[in-house]
Structure 1
Protein backbone atom coordinates (compact mmCIF):
# COMPACT_ATOMS: atom_id res chain seq x y z
CA UNK A 1 0.00 0.00 0.00
CA UNK A 2 2.76 2.42 0.96
CA UNK A 3 4.57 1.71 -2.32
CA UNK A 4 1.39 2.52 -4.30
CA UNK A 5 0.94 5.81 -2.45
CA UNK A 6 4.58 6.77 -3.08
CA UNK A 7 4.30 5.81 -6.76
CA UNK A 8 1.11 7.86 -7.13
CA UNK A 9 2.69 10.83 -5.39
CA UNK A 10 5.73 10.61 -7.65
CA UNK A 11 3.54 10.42 -10.76
CA UNK A 12 1.54 13.47 -9.66
CA UNK A 13 4.72 15.39 -8.88
CA UNK A 14 6.07 14.61 -12.36
CA UNK A 15 2.78 15.69 -13.93
CA UNK A 16 2.62 19.04 -12.15
CA UNK A 17 6.35 19.80 -12.19
CA UNK A 18 7.01 19.42 -15.89
CA UNK A 19 9.69 21.87 -17.01
CA UNK A 20 8.59 24.73 -19.22
CA UNK A 21 9.17 24.23 -22.90
CA UNK A 22 12.42 25.72 -24.09
CA UNK A 23 12.33 28.68 -26.42
CA UNK A 24 12.09 27.89 -30.10
CA UNK A 25 15.15 28.55 -32.19
CA UNK A 26 14.95 31.58 -34.48
CA UNK A 27 14.53 30.88 -38.18
CA UNK A 28 15.27 34.43 -39.36
CA UNK A 29 18.29 36.61 -38.51
CA UNK A 30 18.73 37.21 -34.79
CA UNK A 31 18.01 40.81 -33.78
CA UNK A 32 18.02 40.50 -29.97
CA UNK A 33 20.11 38.51 -27.50
CA UNK A 34 19.19 38.23 -23.84
CA UNK A 35 21.70 36.95 -21.29
CA UNK A 36 22.23 36.90 -17.55
CA UNK A 37 19.69 35.88 -14.93
CA UNK A 38 17.27 33.98 -17.18
CA UNK A 39 15.95 30.43 -17.07
CA UNK A 40 14.80 29.95 -20.68
CA UNK A 41 17.46 29.80 -23.37
CA UNK A 42 17.82 28.62 -26.94
CA UNK A 43 21.50 29.34 -27.67
CA UNK A 44 24.51 28.68 -25.40
CA UNK A 45 23.09 30.19 -22.20
CA UNK A 46 21.32 33.00 -24.03
CA UNK A 47 17.87 33.63 -25.42
CA UNK A 48 18.01 34.85 -29.01
CA UNK A 49 15.07 36.29 -30.91
CA UNK A 50 14.28 36.99 -34.52
CA UNK A 51 11.60 39.42 -35.66
CA UNK A 52 8.73 36.87 -35.89
CA UNK A 53 9.46 35.60 -32.36
CA UNK A 54 9.24 39.15 -31.00
CA UNK A 55 6.08 39.88 -33.01
CA UNK A 56 4.42 36.83 -31.41
CA UNK A 57 4.80 38.23 -27.88
CA UNK A 58 1.95 40.21 -26.27
CA UNK A 59 2.38 43.88 -27.10
CA UNK A 60 0.72 47.20 -27.57
CA UNK A 61 0.56 50.20 -29.83
CA UNK A 62 1.00 53.61 -28.26
CA UNK A 63 0.58 56.94 -30.02
CA UNK A 64 2.57 59.70 -28.37
CA UNK A 65 4.98 62.55 -28.69
CA UNK A 66 8.63 61.85 -27.91
CA UNK A 67 11.76 64.02 -27.87
CA UNK A 68 13.08 62.05 -30.87
CA UNK A 69 10.13 62.27 -33.25
CA UNK A 70 7.98 65.05 -34.68
CA UNK A 71 4.34 65.21 -33.63
CA UNK A 72 2.24 62.23 -32.61
CA UNK A 73 4.00 58.97 -33.50
CA UNK A 74 2.60 55.44 -33.22
CA UNK A 75 4.97 52.81 -31.82
CA UNK A 76 4.16 49.11 -31.89
CA UNK A 77 5.99 46.19 -30.32
CA UNK A 78 6.08 43.60 -27.58
CA UNK A 79 5.73 44.62 -23.97
CA UNK A 80 9.09 44.52 -22.21
CA UNK A 81 7.49 42.54 -19.37
CA UNK A 82 6.24 39.89 -21.83
CA UNK A 83 9.78 39.45 -23.15
CA UNK A 84 11.17 39.12 -19.61
CA UNK A 85 8.49 36.56 -18.75
CA UNK A 86 9.30 34.61 -21.92
CA UNK A 87 12.94 34.20 -20.89
CA UNK A 88 12.23 33.61 -17.19
CA UNK A 89 14.12 36.73 -16.11
CA UNK A 90 14.78 36.93 -12.38
CA UNK A 91 16.90 39.99 -11.86
CA UNK A 92 16.50 43.54 -10.63
CA UNK A 93 18.26 45.47 -13.38
CA UNK A 94 18.54 45.31 -17.15
CA UNK A 95 21.59 46.47 -19.05
CA UNK A 96 20.18 47.45 -22.43
CA UNK A 97 22.83 47.77 -25.15
CA UNK A 98 22.59 49.40 -28.57
CA UNK A 99 24.35 48.54 -31.82
CA UNK A 100 26.90 51.32 -31.14
CA UNK A 101 27.56 49.82 -27.65
CA UNK A 102 25.75 52.64 -25.82
CA UNK A 103 24.06 51.06 -22.81
CA UNK A 104 21.68 52.09 -20.06
CA UNK A 105 20.77 50.39 -16.82
CA UNK A 106 17.02 50.02 -16.49
CA UNK A 107 15.23 48.76 -13.37
CA UNK A 108 13.09 45.68 -14.04
CA UNK A 109 10.31 47.63 -12.35
CA UNK A 110 10.13 49.80 -15.50
CA UNK A 111 8.84 46.68 -17.25
CA UNK A 112 6.49 45.54 -14.50
CA UNK A 113 5.10 48.92 -13.45
CA UNK A 114 4.62 50.45 -16.91
CA UNK A 115 3.49 49.39 -20.38
CA UNK A 116 7.03 49.82 -21.71
CA UNK A 117 7.49 48.35 -25.19
CA UNK A 118 10.32 47.33 -27.44
CA UNK A 119 9.06 49.09 -30.53
CA UNK A 120 9.49 47.19 -33.80
CA UNK A 121 7.37 49.52 -35.89
CA UNK A 122 6.87 53.26 -36.09
CA UNK A 123 3.71 54.60 -37.74
CA UNK A 124 2.98 51.09 -38.99
CA UNK A 125 6.34 50.55 -40.69
CA UNK A 126 9.20 48.33 -39.51
CA UNK A 127 11.95 50.37 -37.87
CA UNK A 128 15.21 50.40 -39.78
CA UNK A 129 18.56 51.04 -38.12
CA UNK A 130 18.43 54.53 -39.61
CA UNK A 131 15.11 55.12 -37.82
CA UNK A 132 16.20 53.87 -34.38
CA UNK A 133 15.46 50.21 -35.15
CA UNK A 134 15.36 47.36 -35.18
CA UNK A 135 14.25 47.79 -31.53
CA UNK A 136 13.60 50.95 -29.55
CA UNK A 137 12.63 50.96 -25.86
CA UNK A 138 9.63 53.25 -25.69
CA UNK A 139 8.11 54.27 -22.39
CA UNK A 140 4.33 54.79 -22.28
CA UNK A 141 4.39 58.58 -22.40
CA UNK A 142 0.81 58.36 -23.71
CA UNK A 143 -0.40 56.54 -20.57
CA UNK A 144 2.00 58.02 -18.00
CA UNK A 145 2.86 61.65 -18.89
CA UNK A 146 4.91 61.92 -15.68
CA UNK A 147 7.53 59.69 -17.37
CA UNK A 148 8.24 62.43 -19.92
CA UNK A 149 11.50 63.55 -18.35
CA UNK A 150 15.26 63.16 -18.64
CA UNK A 151 15.38 60.15 -16.29
CA UNK A 152 13.30 58.03 -18.67
CA UNK A 153 14.69 59.62 -21.83
CA UNK A 154 18.15 58.32 -20.83
CA UNK A 155 16.73 54.79 -20.48
CA UNK A 156 15.02 54.92 -23.90
CA UNK A 157 17.70 53.03 -25.79
CA UNK A 158 17.28 52.67 -29.55
CA UNK A 159 18.97 50.29 -31.99
CA UNK A 160 18.86 47.67 -29.21
CA UNK A 161 20.90 44.53 -29.85
CA UNK A 162 21.18 42.98 -26.37
CA UNK A 163 19.71 42.92 -22.89
CA UNK A 164 21.54 41.52 -19.89
CA UNK A 165 19.43 40.66 -16.85
CA UNK A 166 21.40 41.42 -13.69
CA UNK A 167 20.50 39.96 -10.28
Structure 2
Protein backbone atom coordinates (compact mmCIF):
# COMPACT_ATOMS: atom_id res chain seq x y z
CA UNK A 1 0.00 0.00 0.00
CA UNK A 2 2.82 2.39 0.88
CA UNK A 3 4.48 1.69 -2.47
CA UNK A 4 1.16 2.39 -4.23
CA UNK A 5 0.85 5.78 -2.45
CA UNK A 6 4.44 6.69 -3.35
CA UNK A 7 3.72 5.93 -7.01
CA UNK A 8 0.57 8.07 -6.95
CA UNK A 9 2.41 10.93 -5.20
CA UNK A 10 5.26 10.73 -7.71
CA UNK A 11 2.81 10.76 -10.62
CA UNK A 12 0.92 13.77 -9.27
CA UNK A 13 4.17 15.59 -8.55
CA UNK A 14 5.39 14.82 -12.09
CA UNK A 15 2.19 16.19 -13.61
CA UNK A 16 2.80 19.50 -11.84
CA UNK A 17 5.90 19.94 -14.01
CA UNK A 18 3.96 19.64 -17.30
CA UNK A 19 2.63 23.24 -17.35
CA UNK A 20 6.21 24.50 -16.90
CA UNK A 21 7.35 22.40 -19.85
CA UNK A 22 4.46 23.63 -21.98
CA UNK A 23 5.42 27.28 -21.45
CA UNK A 24 8.89 26.72 -22.88
CA UNK A 25 7.67 26.72 -26.48
CA UNK A 26 8.89 29.07 -29.17
CA UNK A 27 6.82 32.25 -29.49
CA UNK A 28 9.10 34.14 -31.88
CA UNK A 29 11.47 33.02 -34.62
CA UNK A 30 13.91 35.37 -36.32
CA UNK A 31 15.30 34.08 -39.61
CA UNK A 32 18.30 35.38 -41.49
CA UNK A 33 20.03 33.87 -44.53
CA UNK A 34 22.46 32.13 -42.17
CA UNK A 35 20.24 30.86 -39.37
CA UNK A 36 16.95 30.80 -37.54
CA UNK A 37 16.87 31.80 -33.89
CA UNK A 38 13.94 30.68 -31.75
CA UNK A 39 12.86 32.57 -28.64
CA UNK A 40 10.58 31.34 -25.89
CA UNK A 41 8.43 33.80 -24.01
CA UNK A 42 10.63 33.23 -20.97
CA UNK A 43 13.76 34.15 -22.94
CA UNK A 44 12.16 37.35 -24.23
CA UNK A 45 10.98 38.20 -20.72
CA UNK A 46 14.52 37.69 -19.38
CA UNK A 47 16.01 40.23 -21.81
CA UNK A 48 16.55 43.85 -20.81
CA UNK A 49 13.22 45.65 -21.18
CA UNK A 50 12.47 49.14 -22.39
CA UNK A 51 9.27 51.05 -21.76
CA UNK A 52 7.32 52.99 -24.37
CA UNK A 53 4.30 55.06 -23.38
CA UNK A 54 2.35 55.75 -26.53
CA UNK A 55 -0.93 55.79 -28.37
CA UNK A 56 -1.71 54.24 -31.73
CA UNK A 57 -4.76 53.43 -33.83
CA UNK A 58 -5.31 50.17 -31.93
CA UNK A 59 -5.56 51.39 -28.33
CA UNK A 60 -8.13 53.80 -26.91
CA UNK A 61 -5.72 55.69 -24.68
CA UNK A 62 -2.00 56.00 -24.01
CA UNK A 63 -0.59 52.71 -22.79
CA UNK A 64 2.72 51.75 -21.26
CA UNK A 65 4.29 48.96 -23.31
CA UNK A 66 7.34 47.04 -22.18
CA UNK A 67 9.71 44.59 -23.86
CA UNK A 68 13.12 44.16 -25.45
CA UNK A 69 14.33 46.48 -28.19
CA UNK A 70 14.03 45.04 -31.68
CA UNK A 71 17.32 46.76 -32.46
CA UNK A 72 19.14 44.64 -29.87
CA UNK A 73 17.94 41.38 -31.40
CA UNK A 74 18.84 42.56 -34.90
CA UNK A 75 22.31 43.68 -33.78
CA UNK A 76 22.96 40.32 -32.10
CA UNK A 77 22.20 38.66 -35.44
CA UNK A 78 24.37 41.12 -37.39
CA UNK A 79 21.39 42.48 -39.32
CA UNK A 80 22.31 45.64 -41.22
CA UNK A 81 20.09 48.73 -41.00
CA UNK A 82 19.73 48.49 -44.79
CA UNK A 83 17.96 45.10 -44.56
CA UNK A 84 14.24 44.59 -44.96
CA UNK A 85 12.13 42.74 -42.41
CA UNK A 86 9.00 40.74 -42.94
CA UNK A 87 6.82 40.60 -39.83
CA UNK A 88 4.50 37.59 -39.75
CA UNK A 89 1.66 37.18 -37.25
CA UNK A 90 -0.13 34.15 -35.85
CA UNK A 91 -2.98 34.63 -38.36
CA UNK A 92 -0.42 34.86 -41.22
CA UNK A 93 -0.82 38.60 -41.70
CA UNK A 94 2.50 39.94 -42.96
CA UNK A 95 4.03 43.29 -43.69
CA UNK A 96 7.44 44.42 -44.88
CA UNK A 97 9.33 46.98 -42.85
CA UNK A 98 12.75 48.57 -43.36
CA UNK A 99 15.15 47.47 -40.60
CA UNK A 100 16.33 51.07 -40.32
CA UNK A 101 13.16 51.74 -38.28
CA UNK A 102 14.57 49.68 -35.42
CA UNK A 103 17.85 51.61 -35.57
CA UNK A 104 16.27 55.08 -35.77
CA UNK A 105 13.48 54.55 -33.22
CA UNK A 106 13.15 52.55 -30.00
CA UNK A 107 10.89 49.91 -31.54
CA UNK A 108 10.12 47.24 -28.97
CA UNK A 109 8.82 43.70 -28.94
CA UNK A 110 6.10 44.52 -26.42
CA UNK A 111 5.35 41.70 -24.00
CA UNK A 112 3.49 43.80 -21.43
CA UNK A 113 0.81 46.47 -21.70
CA UNK A 114 0.23 48.57 -18.59
CA UNK A 115 2.18 46.07 -16.50
CA UNK A 116 0.27 42.98 -17.63
CA UNK A 117 1.44 40.23 -19.96
CA UNK A 118 -0.57 40.28 -23.18
CA UNK A 119 -2.38 37.06 -24.05
CA UNK A 120 -3.22 36.26 -27.67
CA UNK A 121 -6.72 37.75 -27.27
CA UNK A 122 -5.13 41.07 -26.32
CA UNK A 123 -2.67 41.26 -29.21
CA UNK A 124 0.07 39.25 -27.48
CA UNK A 125 2.19 37.60 -26.61
CA UNK A 126 4.44 39.80 -28.80
CA UNK A 127 3.35 43.11 -30.34
CA UNK A 128 5.65 45.37 -32.37
CA UNK A 129 5.34 48.85 -30.83
CA UNK A 130 6.84 52.10 -32.13
CA UNK A 131 7.29 55.12 -29.81
CA UNK A 132 4.77 57.14 -31.80
CA UNK A 133 4.00 59.81 -29.20
CA UNK A 134 7.70 60.67 -28.93
CA UNK A 135 8.10 60.95 -32.71
CA UNK A 136 5.41 63.02 -34.46
CA UNK A 137 6.89 62.19 -37.86
CA UNK A 138 5.77 58.55 -37.50
CA UNK A 139 2.21 59.29 -36.36
CA UNK A 140 0.58 58.15 -39.57
CA UNK A 141 -1.01 55.16 -41.28
CA UNK A 142 2.28 53.88 -42.69
CA UNK A 143 3.70 53.32 -39.21
CA UNK A 144 0.40 52.18 -37.69
CA UNK A 145 0.38 49.41 -40.30
CA UNK A 146 3.76 48.25 -38.97
CA UNK A 147 2.38 47.59 -35.47
CA UNK A 148 2.02 43.85 -35.96
CA UNK A 149 0.44 42.07 -33.02
CA UNK A 150 0.60 38.36 -32.29
CA UNK A 151 4.02 38.46 -33.94
CA UNK A 152 5.44 34.98 -34.47
CA UNK A 153 8.22 35.43 -37.03
CA UNK A 154 10.62 38.01 -38.41
CA UNK A 155 12.26 37.19 -41.73
CA UNK A 156 15.32 39.21 -42.60
CA UNK A 157 15.61 39.89 -46.33
Instruction: Give me the TM-score of the superposition, normalised by structure 1.
Output: 0.75
Structure 2: state its 5+ residue gaps: 1-22
Per-residue deviation at 1:138? 0.6
Find out whether 1:145 has 2:141 as its counterpart. no
Spell out structure 1 runs of 4+ moving beyond 4 A.
none
How many aligned positions are there? 134
Offset, 1:134: 0.9
2:23 aligned with 1:31: no
Say which of 74, 99, 104 aligns to 1:113.
104
Q: Is the 8 A contact 1:94 1:108 kept in 2?
A: yes
Corresponding residue number in structure 1 for 2:93: 102
CA distance in 2 between partners of 1:139 and 1:93 (Å): 17
In the alignment, structure 1 residue 85 sits paired with structure 2 residue 81 = no
Structure with higher helix content: 2
**Where do 5+ consecutive residues of structure 1 fail to align?**
1-26, 39-44
The answer to whether the 8 Å contact 2:26/2:39 transfers is: yes
What are the Cα deviations for residues 95-117 of structure 1, in whole angstroms up to 9, with x where unaligned? 00000100010101000010011
Deviations 1:112-151 (A, max 9, x none): 0100111001010001110111111111113212211001
**TM-score calculated relative to the size of structure 2:** 0.79
